[in-house]
A and B are shown apart, each in its own frame.
Chain A
Amino acid sequence: MVSMATRRGWLLAVILAFYLVTYVPALLTFVLNSLHPSRGMGIVGPEWTLANYAKLLNDPYYHRAFLLTFRMAATATLLTLALSYPLAYFIARRRSWLATAVLAAVVASAYTSAVVRTMGWKMLLGLNGPVNQALLATGLLDAPLKLTNNLTGAILGLVHVFIPLMTLFLMAVINNVSPALEEAASGLGANGWQVFWQVLFPLTLPGVIGGSLLVFALDMGAFTTPALLGGGRLPIISILIRENVLSTLNLPMGATLAFALLLLVMATFWLTNALTRGGAYR
């Protein structure tokens, strides 16, 4: 059978060739581009330089951009986790029509275009939108809240985008914990909160950390949702990349920011792997 098996090696040739003439040179080209100066008007100088990286490390404007990206991603991740855990638990543990309906809603949302979702949020969260109307009607506010075209809008949109991924991820994690443990705890007199905080949550913690780091990495790299709900001028890394490459035509600076973003995202993925390898949910 070995001869039969080794003969299959040629099947890999097609995909490897495709990667080697498209994906690999594309990555190389953009990284090399970050090592050239920009002459303005989209012209890239031929000499080699680390000036773009020096600018990234020294200019407070970029420090603030990275901090804002971190803050946005961290806040969005925590909110995504808080909203996804109840959904995941409900779908994993309850066998009812409601659990099926919640799963269907999560799956449908997972495959809804990001642009379409932002259109809905724009209508709901506008200054005269129903959310502000309802808040004003309760008398809690005197003036409408600005909920889109700022950081709040970007975070809210990101939370919504990654709830399905986090829910499906946590569902698998919770399914790996035997329900008998929760039954035993409540049989011994623990109430719902105690069962959650002292039994279920510690057992699912490796999965919670893994899922959160995954969503954090995706939040940092996200573009479509923060660009449309953040108002396009929110100075986060992904929006600055687009601005440099397509608007101010400073391709080397755009490439430098993109490479920095890539390193941050890959470091997060690496951390996820390091922390969850052999973890309880695998």
Chain B
Amino acid sequence: MDTPVPVRPEPVPHISVRRRLTELAFPAVVVLITVFVLAPVITVVLTSFTATNYAIFPPRGLSLQWFTRINPKFLASFQLSVWLALATTIISTTVATTAGLALVRGQIPGRQWIDSFLRSPLQVPLLVTGVAFYTFYATTLRGMGLNLRSTFVGLLIGHCVIAIPYVLAAVVAGLAKLDLTVEEAAEGLGATPWQTFRHVTLPMLRPALFAGAFFAFVTSFDDVPVSLFLAGSGTQPLPIELFFAVEYALEPDVFAVATLVVAFSTVLILLLEKAVGVRSALSGQTHR
């Protein structure tokens, strides 16, 4: 080669090594934060397999004993929580879908105001919603001879109020994305409003409905702050039983229950992923 040798060739590899290091530093930081994000759940799952008679992490030995020794009160409250979450999901999804249709497709005066009003439970801290319903049940309704405290219906009403805004947000976002001309075409071809809804709107709205139903189920199934005030003996949902267990005594069987809860939520997320894709479901994501 006749080309002249560069005057200062050394700094080039020096810089590229530094650059390689800074390029690796960022993913390393991201991985560390991700470990922080996953740490408590992994800890709970591993602890539940301990062979000891007390909860310890890292677990000693490997055993499924605690899954067979779960306190029956947890199984009863798990059952209650599933029924409560299912009822909340069905009611809030139905009610919020009809409301969403009216708000997006109808020409209702002041619909901006109605929309904000219907979403307003999102702005109320859950604990305050719990106190509000507690007071309402314990004073006004009891004065009228109606006792909803410590009842399934009382819990269901509270859970529907906190779940509806999530479903409404998902449905309104889903409807706004739909092509209106398809519905108009169906009606122009002689379909009744019900037929249009059943065979045109509903199938297209499916992803939004799945996402909304998922949010409703999880909101109810994980709720502590509202149930804490509305539940009583015999009507303790699972998160409340777990809450008291963490507050008073963390027995190893509590970790087995928690592991089953984690497995259950994971199955729900995977179902949502399979049905509509988590990324698209989260695009209608609201807070909390």
Query: Which residues of A are interface residues toward B (Cβ below 8 A)?
Result: 1-2, 4-12, 14-16, 18-19, 22-23, 25-27, 29-30, 33, 44, 83, 86-87, 90, 98, 101-103, 105-109, 111-124, 129-130, 160, 163-165, 168, 192, 214, 218, 220-224, 227-228, 232, 238, 241-242, 245-246, 251, 254-255, 258-259, 261-262, 265-266, 269
B98: A residues at CB distance < 8 A: 11-12, 14-15
- Interface contact A8-B268, CB-CB below 8 Å: no
> With A221-B128, A254-B131 in contact, is A160–B40 under 8 Å at CB?
yes
CA–CA, A265 and B129, complex, Å: 13
Known A113-B261, A116-B262, A224-B224; judge A122-B246 contact (CB<8 A). yes
A25 to B222, CA, bound (A): 25
For the residues of A in contact with B, the DSSP-based class is: helix
Q: B26, B39, B135 — which one has the most chain A CB atoms within 10 A of its CB?
A: B135
In the complex, chain A residues whose CB is within 8 Å of the CB of B27? 90, 98
CB <8 Å contact, B136 and A29? yes
User: Which one, A14, A33, A130, A223, contacts B139 given CB within 8 A?
Assistant: A33
| Inter-subunit contact B127/A120 (CB<8 Å) | no
Min CB distance, B44 to chain A, in Å? 5
Q: Is the CB of A11 within 8 A of B102?
A: yes
Collect the chain A residues with CB atoms within 8 Å of residue B114's CB: 12, 16
Contacts of B56 in A (CB 8 A): 123
What's the Cα separation between A11 and B194 when bound, in Å? Answer: 13
B55 interface residue per 8 A CB criterion: yes
* B29, CB-defined interface residue at 8 Å: yes
A223 CA to B266 CA in the complex, in Å?
A: 24
Q: Can you offer 18 A-B residue contacts whose CB atoms are under 8 A?
A: A8-B106, A15-B95, A16-B114, A26-B132, A29-B139, A86-B30, A87-B37, A98-B30, A102-B30, A113-B222, A116-B41, A116-B261, A119-B250, A168-B282, A168-B285, A228-B246, A238-B127, A241-B127
12 extra A-B contacts, CB within 8 A, seeds A113-B265, A115-B239 = A1-B184, A11-B106, A15-B118, A18-B160, A23-B121, A26-B132, A30-B132, A86-B29, A111-B218, A111-B222, A112-B40, A251-B138
B178 touches A (CB below 8 Å): no
Query: Which B20-37 residues have C-beta < 8 A from chain A?
Result: 22, 26-27, 29-31, 33-34, 36-37
Question: Does A129 contact B243, Cβ atoms closer than 8 Å?
Answer: no
Q: Does B67 contact A (CB under 8 A)?
A: no
Report whether B187 and A87 are in contact in the complex, using a CB–CB cutoff of 8 Å: no
Which B residues lie within 8 Å of A242 (CB)? 127, 228
Interface residues on B, range: 35 or more
* Chain A residues with CB below 8 A from B127, complex form: 221, 223, 238, 241-242, 258, 261
With A108-B266, A120-B43 as contacts: A258 and B136 at CB distance below 8 Å: no
Which of B98, B108, B127, B187 has the most C-beta atoms of chain A within 10 angstroms of its own C-beta?
B127
Contacts of B121 in A (CB 8 A): 23
- How long is the Cα–Cα vector from A19 to B33 in the complex, in angstroms? 41
CA distance A160 to B33 in the complex (A): 10
B30 to A: closest C-beta gap in Å: 5
Asked if B39 contacts A120 (CB within 8 A), the reply is: yes
At the interface, yes or no: B68 with Cβ under 8 Å from chain A?
A: no
- Smallest Cβ distance from A231 to chain B, in angstroms? 10
Contacting pair A124 B40 (CB below 8 A): yes
Assuming the A-B contacts A29-B139, A109-B37, are A22 and B157 also in contact, with contact meaning beta carbons closer than 8 angstroms in the complex?
Answer: yes
B261 and A86 contact, CB distance less than 8 A: no
